[in-house]
Structures are given as C-alpha cells and as structure tokens.
Amino acid sequence: MKAGSHEVVIIGSGAGGGAAAYGLAMKGVKVLVLEAGPKFDPFSDYNLSDESWEKTGFPGKAGSTGRQTFAPMQELDPARGTLLSWSAAGGRKNQTEQRLPFKYFHVRGVGGSTLAFTGEAHRLHPESMQMQSRFGVAADWPVDYATLEPFYSEAERVIGVAGPGDQGARYRSEPFPLPAHPLSYGSQKLAAGAESVGMKWEANSRAALSRPYEGRPDCNYCGNCNRGCPRTDKGSVDVTFLHKAVASGFCEVRSGVTVTRIEAGENDRVKGVHLVDAAGGEHFLSTPELIVSCGAVETPRLLLNSANSHAPEGLANESGQVGKNFMETLFWTGTGLHPDPVGSYRGLPADSISWDFNAPDAIEGVVGGCRFNAGVWESEMNGPIAYAQRIVGGWGVKHKKAMRDVFGRALTVGAIGESLPNPRSFIDLDPDQVDGNGMPLARIHSHLDKSELDRLEFMAAKSREILKAAGAGELVEEYGAYDFFSSTHVFGTCRMGIDPEASAVDSFGKSHRWKNLAVLDASVFPSSGGGESPSLTIEALALRNSAGIY
C-alpha cells in the first residue's frame, strides 16, 4: 500500500481494530493501522522453553505497557469478610481496610491484549443484551444476537475456534470450525464435582486450535496462553485477523506509533490525528475515515484528550457519556488441593465452563449472571515457584517434602460475573499525571455496588461448593475483585445506543455527531454480559460495523 493512500485509519490493533482492519481489507478498502506498542514475534519473544519460564509473565517488551492511574477506592466492609483475598503461604493479600488497585491488564502491541489473553471465544447470552428493558439496569444493546450471529460465525472461522456442538441459548447457524478440546485430567475432576452438585460442566469454546488450521499447528496443552503462545495456535489477533488483512495487500500496520490527539474540524468531521512515531518525530496524518479501537480505558482517554474548540467537552462527547458507565472484570478464583496427584498444570487454560448461572436472571435475588470455569492456569498456579510462594511456603527439608506432596494437586475454579455500570465507576483524565508525550493519563474510578458484591458472594460460595464436591475442599487460596481491582475485561465508556442524548455512538459504533469517526472496541458495550469473555463479541461487532462504515 502506498504511503498516504489509505482510506481508513484505525487506532489500535487489538480485537476491535484488528477485526475491523480485516473486515475492511477483505472488501478492498485501504486501511492503515496505527499501534502504539511494538510487534511481538511469537517464535522468539515468548519464553516458555527456558527453565526460567515461570519468572517472567507475558514479556514486558519496551513500549508494551501503558500507564493509568487510579482514584482511591472504597472502604472494605467487615460484613463481607468472606470475600477477602488470601493464600495459605502468604495470609491476607490486602493488608489494608480499603480496596486496592492491582492492575489493568492491557497489552500495547500488534494484536493488543489478545496477545496475552486466555483465548476464550464467547458469544454473549442473548438475554444479557436487554438489561435496561428487562431489569432496569445498564442499557439495552441497539443490536441483538440475531444480527450479530453471522458475524460471530465469521469471526470464529477467521480464528479457528474450537467448541462443543451446543451452547444452549447461544444458538448457531453453523458448527464451530473445529471440535472442542478434550478436558484435562484436572478439569475432569472439576467436572465430576460440578455435576455432583447438579451443574452442567462442559467444554469451553476456545480460540486455540484443536486441529492444525490454515497453516497454524494445533495446541500442545502447555497451559500458558497468558504468557504468549509461541506456537501460534492461540487465535490472537496478530496471527489471525491482522495476518490475513496484511496478506490481502490492503492493510498496513505501523507499530510504535502513538496517537496523542484527534483533530476535530468543521462540518462535524475529524481531519486526522496527531501522532508521535517510533523515532519520536511528531506528525499530523489526515484521514477520510477514522476508527478508534484502544479499549475501554484508552479510547475515552484519547477522545477526552482531543477536546478543541469544535469539541470542547471532548470528541464524541456531546452526550457526556464518554468515560462514563465503566464496567470491569468482576472475578473470583478459588483454589483447593485435591488429595491425589492430578498434574493440574497440564492442559488448555479455561478448557471447561459452566453456563448454568450465566443468564441475567439465573442467580436468585441478584440481577446479572456469571459463569464458572477451570482456572488453575489463569491464576498461574501452574509452576513450582507459584506453589512454593502461594501454597507451600516455608523452607528447608520440610518445604521440599511438602512441594513434592502438593505439586500438581491444585484445582482452581474461576468465576466472572456481570459488571453493571454505576455513577462512581468511570474514566477521566488525571489532572496531575501525563505520559511521555505530555498527554494526561487515564484515571480509573472503580466502585462495586451492592449488586456486584452480592453477585460476588454467590460466585465465591458456588466456587467453594464445586471445589469441595471435586474433592478439593482444602482451600489454599482465594482471590477476588472485592478487595482488588484487577481487570482484563473492561467495557462501556463510549456506550452505543439509539438516543444521541444517552450514548456516544450509534448501533454501528459511529459517533452520533462526527460523520467520519467510529469507535470499535468494548467501550461501546451497553452492558458487560454475564461473565463472557468479550473478544469474540468485539470482533463480531467490528466485522459488522466496519461493513456499515465503508
């Protein structure tokens, strides 16, 4: 693609930007993707073949970590003591009486946070898209499941999703491209436990290849998707959507390019973007069409940082909704020890799941659902350092004997629940802190309302019940969103809707006012769903909406 010949500029190359680039490039539209972070090489950057593998998480390549700040969070409630995080070796994890920020997990790099994601490929529960009209909370999606269904299927084909034949309410027009992965031995134990308490526990739909697919090899069940997949069987955006988009000849990806501001102009059009290239040079790039896909924290930051005389309250913020309605990852993980050797570090992360409580009315007395899954790998309880530091503790002869007794016996139930918006959860610009380009950082305000805490209590209690039924009732660690903000999935800060007074973008992600500006990422979600991982929905939306943009 010749320089300057692009028809669309996309800021961000994660699930939204990557899928939009693919959708447009396949139509022959010339796309330029600007990515602030570096390009990762799966074959050399991911350190899973070295004996020191456990000491490094997903590689912190230069420029791959953004910065955000956090506003002070809520006081902890003594009545919610069963939700405190703790481990057998370390005791209580949060030693204060206040909820603490741990991390917003966000990768800056070509492929975005999908580089480090587990790779669950979930469709939203159809009923979770009408939370306002049915339950009076959050907002309704201006598109429904039936509209998205063909795009879900298309995204699954691009990725090579492996899944079971049937997922209940998530009806399908075609089978998953690949058969479901077998359950690991540890997950078989969890399945038996869950089924003994009346729950259905089934194979999860996964963006990881159960068979070789389009030149990529199948998974070898090393259990470390979150540290980056060196085989490329995990369906991160770099090896799927972007790979195909670039191969089409209609897409160029530039890494190490930070967009600092969008320039709003006259006639309700944006003129282009101000950027800093990898060498530190400042430039202005004009574009006929602009798509913002930076995620639900960085997208509102960029829009708010782009305020000018044409958009005094920030770009696309005529409704005042940019940054509002922030929804986070409401999570719980509980780990127990099985009495027998299980070898639980082996297998595909989150290989199995229960959707029994996923519908928005499935939990008695609480609006909003949740799901449960096998979670030992995502909690990184899959190596000797983790066992030594978090379960066994101690030192000397006794420690080494205990390690041999315990290693591989940990079973973990993970749970993620609906996160409903509330007025105290939002993103704004930090008035005091700026990045290296002098632009104010995003500041995360997070507050868990009673409904979230009640849902979390249900998730914790059910996790304990499953573990006990699986024979792993000897708990050794629990960790949850009650006393730590720790989010991978974030949503809602540029809500889409029909009403321009109550939403930032329309049902195609286009700004209600700015004719050549769209947002395609989880910022546009009016509700979070009942614990589904969002990447597949972001991708399906991006495929559908990019088709409507150009």
Partner 1 sequence: MKFISRRKFVAAVPVSLSLIGSQELLAGKESESPVTLTLRHWVDTLFPGDDFSPGAGALGVHLQILEKADAIPEYGRLIVSGTGWANGMAAVKGISSFAALTELQRVEVVAEAESQGPKSGPGYFFVHTLQDATNFYYGHRESWAGLGIANPPQPLGYPDFEKAPA
Between residue 465 and residue 484, which ones bind partner 1 under the rule CB under 8 A? none
Q: State in angstroms the smallest separation of the CB of 299 from partner 1.
A: 34
- Residue 549 is encoded by which pair of tokens? 């943009």
Looking at 342, 353, 376, 518, which residue binds partner 1 (CB under 8 A)? Answer: 342
- By beta-carbon proximity to partner 1, the closer residue of 223 and 256 is 223
Tokens of 542: 């991006």
Return the range that interacts with partner 1 (CB under 8 A); candidates 105-113, 127-135, 295-303, 385-393.
385-393
Shortest distance in whole angstroms from residue 380 CB to partner 1? 12
Q: How far apart are CA 108 and CA 37, in angstroms?
A: 4
The reply on whether position 201 binds partner 1 by CB under 8 A is: no
CA separation for the pair 143, 506 (Å, rounded): 10
Contact positions with partner 1 (CB under 8 A) in 42-61: 48-55
Please identify which residue in 92, 283, 399, 515 interacts with partner 1, judged by CB under 8 A.
399
Tell me which of 17, 38, 109, 223 binds partner 1, using CB under 8 A: 223
Long-range pairs for 459-463: beta carbons < 8 A, 24 or more residues apart: 459/330, 459/332, 459/370, 459/372, 459/415, 459/417, 460/82, 460/83, 460/332, 460/334, 460/415, 461/82, 462/357, 462/372, 462/415, 463/332, 463/333, 463/334, 463/372, 463/413, 463/414, 463/415
Q: Could you tell me the smallest distance in angstroms from the CB atom of residue 144 to partner 1?
A: 38
Do the strands 370-374 and 91-92 form a parallel or antiparallel pair, or are they unpaired? unpaired
Using CA atoms, how far residue 501 sits from 290, 396, 505, 506, 541, in Å, is: 22, 65, 10, 11, 22
184 near partner 1 (CB under 8 A) = yes
Out of 389, 501, 515, 548, the only residue in the binding site for partner 1 (CB under 8 A) is: 389
Closest CB to partner 1 among residues 228, 369: 228
Q: Least distance from C-beta 394 to partner 1, angstroms?
A: 9
Helix segments in 448-517, DSSP class H: 450-469
Distance, CA of 412 to CA of 426 (rounded, Å): 31
Please, are residues 523 and 296 in contact by the beta-carbon 8 Å criterion? Answer: yes
What's the min distance (Å) between Cβ of 54 and partner 1?
Answer: 7
Instruction: List the one residue from 343, 423, 431, 548 that touches partner 1 (CB under 8 A).
Output: 343
Shortest Å distance, C-beta 392 to partner 1: 10
Q: Give the interface segment with partner 1, choosing from 96-104, 215-223, 277-285, 460-468 (CB under 8 A).
A: 215-223
- Dist CA 151 CA 52 (whole Å): 41
Long-range CB contacts for residues 394-397, cutoff 8 Å, separation at least 24: 394/89
Nearest to 363 by CA among 460, 444, 270, 496: 460
- Among 188, 463, 488, 511, the residue binding partner 1 under the rule CB under 8 A is 188
Q: Which residues pair with 330 in a beta bridge?
A: 417
Q: Which is nearer to partner 1, 228 or 421 (CB)?
A: 228
Shortest distance in whole angstroms from residue 177 CB to partner 1: 22
CB of 3 or CB of 397, closer to partner 1: 397
In eight-state DSSP terms, residue 222 is -
Q: Choose, by CB under 8 A, the member of 165, 339, 384, 423 that binds partner 1.
A: 384
223/526 with CB nearer partner 1: 223
- Contact present, 245 and 216 (Cβ < 8 Å): no
Is residue 230 close enough to count as binding partner 1 by CB under 8 A? yes
Contact between 95 and partner 1 by CB under 8 A: the answer reads no
Contact call for residue 179 and partner 1 (CB under 8 A) = no
Output the smallest distance, CB 341 to partner 1, in A. 5
Confirm or reject binding of residue 345 to partner 1 (CB under 8 A). Answer: yes
What gap in Å lies between CA 412 and CA 144, rounded to an integer? Answer: 34
> By CB under 8 A, is residue 390 in contact with partner 1?
no
Q: Identify the three-state secondary structure at position 152.
A: helix
Determine, following the binding rule CB under 8 A, whether residue 324 of this chain makes contact with partner 1: no
Q: List alpha helices for 333-447, DSSP H.
A: 384-386, 396-406
Which lies closer to partner 1 via its Cβ, residue 218 or residue 474? 218
Site residues (CB under 8 A) for partner 1? 48-55, 182-185, 188, 219-224, 230-231, 340-343, 345-348, 383-385, 388-389, 395-397, 399-400, 403-404, 407-408
